[in-house]
């Protein structure tokens, strides 16, 4: 069952296609990474999912419902934390907690207070006096305490230092392991995200480049390193070659349908690609490079 | 209580009032106090038999505008908008509940002014007759509507200029009204009992006009808010 379904969604701002024929599905219980460079349409996609924007074409559904004008009882199942999100600076944390809690039938007060103690945030502090990291932690605490089924995070770790980012992502992993919460996480910091996501979608200029289970992707997409270049046509009959590169006699090929039995006696090193390398592979134009 | 009941319209309405009261209750209560010093400014103590209750209503307009800004601005602008947008509440009923709260707040503040009239605040020397002006009652509503409109529109140069012009027109209108409506000051010739500058029926008509403008402005703001896609780049 899919929690989020976008089908052929289009959203323009003037003549600029922020989201261009985007289709993706977010499976229930997954930790889904919506990944792309700045300006690739991640935030606009999330705004379409939240119902903050209406697609000019195509459909968006959350829990099988159009998010625009979503009933409050359904909206309560979704928690949302964005990079550009804040509370009024004058508002005390205690006031903010009381305000937020009043909108949810289920509210884990104990968890919220435990987290604030862990973060060393005092309830009588005002939101405006918190650092960016502390603000983000507080907003995440509010989101988690409402016990959501779907947690949408738009660049949640942007602008935070390494330690805070790590701790933030550890919290997400803990959440994903303990409760069946679907998490959609958008980011351009791929090294962070790799630790937590199990599904990924790469976007570029508002379009979907790839959507896949990350483990499957890592199993299938490999870098083959040959000491001596094999015959390329032979390689092409065994694998779907995405790109090749040559440095002197050394030859590398990126393939997306790797299986050990396909190596057919070739002497090569098989290298795994990390998320960043996978992202670059699919987001840069494919060409065969030959060094002089 | 089932989810349907918890998120029913009636529950939502009272929830919005509770939230507003929790956050803005003290400001709302004190608003009725802040206007009372207005009885002590710009009055002819011991010189006129009439005290025209104007200044407290002008102060009430500022308080009403402030409350409208405090309630609406975080929900319609800037980095706080996504937070409020993501709360589980129906958009239009929420807006209506907020408007109802603000109207009641203005009525409370005007009630406080009437209490001040009852206790003849600011009076001294010659026993003053406190004279009320219908259009003064409409001023806080007009201010509330104008600020509500301002908070809901985009901060484009055009809109900022429009609102500045409206503010200038309001101030000019206010001075014209003060000057024309209260032309004849207290003097021996009128037994220190200056008449109304405008006929009461004209004042009533002006009050009705100001309330209609306020109501129409709020209606347009409501429709704008219903249609607005909050995720648009602003």
- Looking at residue A221, its pLDDT comes to 93
ipTM of the complex: 0.88
Q: Which residues of A touch B27 (CB under 8 A)?
A: none
A186 Cβ under 8 Å from any chain B Cβ = no
A224/A164 same-domain check: no
A186/A281 same-domain check: no
Q: Which tens digits make up the pLDDT trace of A155-214? A: 887 777 888 788 888 888 888 777 789 999 998 888 888 888 999 999 999 999 999 999
Distances in Å between the Cα of A11 and the Cα atoms of A26, A74, B231 are 19, 24, 11
B78 Cβ under 8 Å from any chain A Cβ = yes
Interface of B with A in 10-69 (CB under 8 A): 12, 15, 18-19, 22-23
- Looking at residue A269, its pLDDT comes to 87
B229 Cβ under 8 Å from any chain A Cβ = yes
A102/A166 same-domain check: yes
pLDDT grade for B1, boundaries at 50, 70 and 90: low
A92 class by beta-carbon count within 10 Å (0-12 exposed, 13-18 middle, 19+ buried): middle
What would the mean pLDDT of A47-64 be, rounded to a whole number? Answer: 95
A22/A35 same-domain check: yes
Single out the residue in A194, A216, A238 at which a domain terminates.
A216
Q: Are A65 and A59 in contact (CB under 8 A)?
A: no
Q: Searching chain A, which residue's CA lies closest to the CA of residue B79?
A: A85
**Optimal mutation site among B88, B95, B232, interface A, most CBs of chain A within 10 A:** B88
Q: Helices B91-118 & B134-152, crossing angle to 10 degrees?
A: 150
- Name residue, tokens 């989810």: B3
C-alpha distance from A44 to closest chain B C-alpha (Å): 8
B89 Cβ under 8 Å from any chain A Cβ = yes
C-alpha distance from B105 to closest chain A C-alpha (Å): 20
Q: Which residues of A touch B74 (CB under 8 A)?
A: 87-88
What would the mean pLDDT of B223-228 be, rounded to a whole number? Answer: 91
A118/A183 same-domain check: yes
A151/A81 same-domain check: yes
Q: Which residues of B touch A56 (CB under 8 A)?
A: none
Q: Are A99 and A90 in contact (CB under 8 A)?
A: no
Single out the residue in A216, A238, A265 at which a domain terminates.
A216
Mean pLDDT, chain B, as a whole number?
88
**Optimal mutation site among B78, B79, B90, B97, interface A, most CBs of chain A within 10 A:** B79
Q: Which tens digits make up the pLDDT trace of B26-57? A: 999 999 999 999 998 877 666 778 888 999 99
For strands A2-13 and A57-62, give the pairing: antiparallel
pLDDT grade for B233, boundaries at 50, 70 and 90: low
A144/A16 same-domain check: yes
Instruction: Using the predicted structure, report yes or no on whether residue A232 has a pLDDT greater than 80.
Output: no
A157 Cβ under 8 Å from any chain B Cβ = no
Q: Are A172 and A183 in contact (CB under 8 A)?
A: yes
- Kindly provide the b/e burial profile for residues A35-72, where b requires at least 16 CB atoms within 10 angstroms of the residue's own CB: bbeeebbbbbbbbbbbbbbbbeebebbbbeeebeebeb
A78 Cβ under 8 Å from any chain B Cβ = yes
Instruction: Using the predicted structure, report yes or no on whether residue A292 has a pLDDT greater than 50.
Output: no
C-alpha distance from B122 to closest chain A C-alpha (Å): 35
What's the total number of domains in chain B?
A: 1
What would the mean pLDDT of A270-289 be, rounded to a whole number? Answer: 80
The three-point CA angle A184-A92-B14 to 5° equals: 80
Q: Where are the beta strands (DSSP E) in chain A?
A: 2-13, 16-27, 31-36, 57-62, 78-82, 150-154, 182-187, 199-204, 207-213, 222-226, 241-247, 250-255, 268-272, 289-290
* B233 in a structural domain: no
Q: Which residues of B touch A53 (CB under 8 A)?
A: 229, 231-232
- Looking at residue A50, its pLDDT comes to 94
Can you tell me the distance from the alpha carbon of A92 to that of A125, in angstroms, rounded to the nearest whole number? 5
C-alpha distance from A81 to closest chain B C-alpha (Å): 8
Instruction: Using the predicted structure, report yes or no on whether residue B152 has a pLDDT greater than 50.
Output: yes
A11 Cβ under 8 Å from any chain B Cβ = no
Contact B74 A102 (CB under 8 A): no
What order of strands is seen across the sheet that includes strand A241-247? A268-272, A222-226, A250-255, A241-247, A289-290
**The domain containing residue B175 runs over which residues?**
3-227
Contact A86 B78 (CB under 8 A): yes
Q: Which residues of A touch B4 (CB under 8 A)?
A: 73
- Looking at residue B186, its pLDDT comes to 75
- Closest partner CB to B231 (pick from A52, A76, A99): A52
Q: Please compute Rg for chain A using Cα positions.
A: 22
What's the total number of domains in chain A?
A: 2
A189/A46 same-domain check: yes
What would the mean pLDDT of A113-119 be, rounded to a whole number? Answer: 91
Single out the residue in A158, A191, A216 at which a domain terminates.
A216
What would the mean pLDDT of A138-162 be, rounded to a whole number? Answer: 90
**Optimal mutation site among A67, A72, A142, interface B, most CBs of chain B within 10 A:** A72
CA neighbours closer than 13 Å in the CB half-sphere of residue A285: 2
Contact B22 A71 (CB under 8 A): no
Please give the interface size between A and B, counted as residue pairs whose CB atoms are below 8 Å apart: 78
Can you tell me the distance from the alpha carbon of A55 to that of A68, in angstroms, rounded to the nearest whole number? 10
A77/A130 same-domain check: yes
CA neighbours closer than 13 Å in the CB half-sphere of residue A45: 39
A68/A208 same-domain check: yes
A22 Cβ under 8 Å from any chain B Cβ = no
C-alpha distance from B141 to closest chain A C-alpha (Å): 25
Q: Are A252 and A229 in contact (CB under 8 A)?
A: no
Contact A86 B91 (CB under 8 A): no
Can you tell me the distance from the alpha carbon of A108 to that of A143, in angstroms, rounded to the nearest whole number? 10
Q: Classify the C-alpha dihedral A45-A49-A52-A56 as positive or negative.
A: positive
Instruction: Using the predicted structure, report yes or no on whether residue B3 has a pLDDT greater than 70.
Output: no
Q: Which tens digits make up the pLDDT trace of B67-86? A: 999 999 999 988 999 999 99
**The domain containing residue A238 runs over which residues?**
220-290
A57/A107 same-domain check: yes
Can you tell me the distance from the alpha carbon of A143 to that of A164, in angstroms, rounded to the nearest whole number? 17
- Looking at residue B127, its pLDDT comes to 60
Contact B79 A91 (CB under 8 A): no
A98 Cβ under 8 Å from any chain B Cβ = yes
A172/A72 same-domain check: yes
- Cα B103 from chain centroid? 8
B83 Cβ under 8 Å from any chain A Cβ = yes
CATH code for the domain in which residue A138 is found? 3.40.50.300
* B173 in a structural domain: yes
- Closest partner CB to B83 (pick from A13, A52, A86): A86
Contact A139 B83 (CB under 8 A): yes
- Name residue, tokens 């408007």: B99
């Amino acid at each position: 069952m899919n929690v989020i379904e976008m089908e052929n969604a289009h959203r323009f701002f003037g003549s600029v296609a922020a989201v261009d024929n985007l289709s993706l599905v977010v499976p229930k219980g997954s930790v889904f990474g919506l990944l792309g460079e700045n300006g690739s349409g991640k935030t606009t996609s999330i705004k379409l999912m939240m119902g903050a924007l209406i697609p000019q074409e195509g459909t968006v559904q959350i829990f099988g419902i159009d998010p625009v004008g979503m009933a409050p009882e359904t909206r309560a199942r979704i928690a949302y934390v964005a990079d550009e999100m804040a509370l009024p600076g004058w508002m005390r944390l205690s006031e903010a907690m009381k305000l937020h809690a009043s909108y949810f039938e289920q509210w884990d007060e104990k968890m919220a207070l435990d987290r604030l103690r862990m973060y060393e945030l005092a309830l009588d502090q005002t939101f405006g006096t918190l650092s960016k990291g502390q603000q983000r932690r507080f907003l995440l605490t509010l989101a988690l305490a409402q016990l959501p089924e779907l947690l949408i995070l738009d660049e949640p770790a942007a602008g935070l230092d390494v330690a805070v980012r790590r701790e933030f992502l550890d919290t997400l992993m803990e959440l994903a392991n303990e409760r069946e919460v679907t998490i959609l996480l958008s980011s351009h910091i791929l090294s962070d995200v790799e630790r937590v996501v199990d599904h990924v979608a790469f976007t570029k200029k508002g379009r979907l480049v790839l959507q896949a289970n990350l483990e499957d992707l890592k199993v299938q997409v490999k870098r083959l390193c040959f000491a001596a270049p094999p015959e390329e046509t032979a390689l092409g009959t065994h694998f779907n070659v995405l790109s090749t590169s040559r440095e002197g006699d050394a030859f590398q090929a990126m393939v997306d349908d790797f299986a050990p039995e396909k190596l057919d006696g070739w002497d090569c090193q098989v290298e795994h690609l990390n998320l960043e390398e996978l992202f670059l592979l699919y987001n840069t134009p494919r060409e065969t490079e030959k060094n002089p | 209580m089932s989810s349907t009941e918890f998120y029913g319209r009636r529950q939502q309405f009272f929830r919005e009032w509770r939230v507003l009261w929790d956050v803005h209750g003290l400001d709302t209560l004190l608003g009725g106090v802040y206007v009372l010093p207005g009885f002590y400014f710009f009055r002819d103590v011991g010189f006129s038999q009439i005290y025209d209750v104007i200044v407290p209503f002008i102060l009430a307009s500022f308080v009403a505008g402030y409350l409208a800004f405090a309630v609406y601005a975080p929900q319609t602008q800037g980095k706080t908008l996504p937070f409020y947008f993501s709360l589980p509440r129906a958009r239009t009923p929420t807006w209506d509940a907020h408007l109802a709260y603000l109207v009641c707040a203005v009525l409370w503040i005007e009630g406080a002014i009437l209490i001040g009239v009852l206790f003849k605040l600011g009076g001294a020397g010659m026993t003053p007759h406190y004279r009320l002006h219908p259009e003064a009652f409409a001023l806080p509503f007009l201010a509330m509507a104008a600020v509500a409109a301002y908070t809901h529109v985009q901060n484009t140069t055009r809109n900022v200029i429009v609102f500045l012009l409206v503010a200038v027109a309001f101030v000019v209108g206010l001075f014209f009204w003060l000057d024309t409506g209260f032309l004849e000051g207290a003097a021996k010739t009128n037994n220190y009992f200056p008449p109304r500058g405008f006929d009461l029926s004209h004042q009533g008509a002006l009050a009705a006009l100001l309330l209609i403008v306020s109501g129409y402005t709020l209606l347009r703001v409501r429709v704008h808010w219903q249609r607005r896609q909050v995720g648009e780049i602003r």
